[in-house]
């Protein structure tokens, strides 16, 4: 996981797995990184190789936390298995932001 501050907010990158053993650390990392300010947060999922239900719960938690602060969470590079995972769980719309994020980058 790494982070970069941008003019628009934050670019965060995931790598490896997001599972029960990583979920608490991931949530803390995002909350500490983003802080208490409203921001656009782009979460690059290209390096994410596996996500279990606890990892998905962590993404939902982080999304809610950022929205509560007045920000927005974009999941980017969610192709392949992750896109299918979000579709099957019914969360594709909640995390559907690739197009908006790509527009922000232009």
Count of structural domains within the chain: 1
Cα-Cα-Cα-Cα dihedral sign, residues 61, 73, 92, 24: negative
Global pTM reads 0.85
CA distances to 1, 18, 19, 37, 74 from 40, in Å:
17, 21, 24, 10, 8
Q: What average pLDDT does the segment 67-95 reach?
A: 89
State the chain's mean pLDDT as an integer: 87
Domain boundaries, position 62: 2-105
List, in sequence order, every beta strand (DSSP E) within the chain: 2-5, 9-18, 40-51, 72-76
- E strand or H helix at 80, and its extent? none
Instruction: Compute the radius of gyration of the chain from its Cα atoms.
Output: 13
For the stretch 25-47, pLDDT in tens is 999 999 999 988 778 999 999 99
The domain that contains 28 carries what CATH number?
Answer: 3.30.750.24
pLDDT value of position 101: 45
User: What is the C-alpha to C-alpha distance for residues 88 and 60, in angstroms, rounded to an integer?
Assistant: 15
Structure tokens at 25: 């650390």
User: What is the C-alpha to C-alpha distance for residues 10 and 30, in angstroms, rounded to an integer?
Assistant: 10
């Amino acid at each position: 996981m790494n982070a970069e501050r941008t003019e628009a907010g934050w670019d965060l990158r995931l790598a490896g797995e997001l599972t029960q053993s990583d979920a608490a650390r991931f949530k803390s990392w995002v909350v500490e990184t983003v802080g208490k300010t409203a921001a656009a947060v782009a979460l690059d999922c290209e390096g994410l190789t596996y996500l279990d239900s606890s990892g998905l719960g962590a993404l939902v938690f982080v999304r809610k936390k950022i929205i509560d602060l007045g920000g927005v969470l974009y999941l980017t590079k969610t192709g392949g298995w992750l896109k299918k995972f979000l579709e099957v769980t019914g969360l594709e719309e909640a995390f559907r932001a690739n197009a908006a994020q790509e527009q922000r980058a232009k």
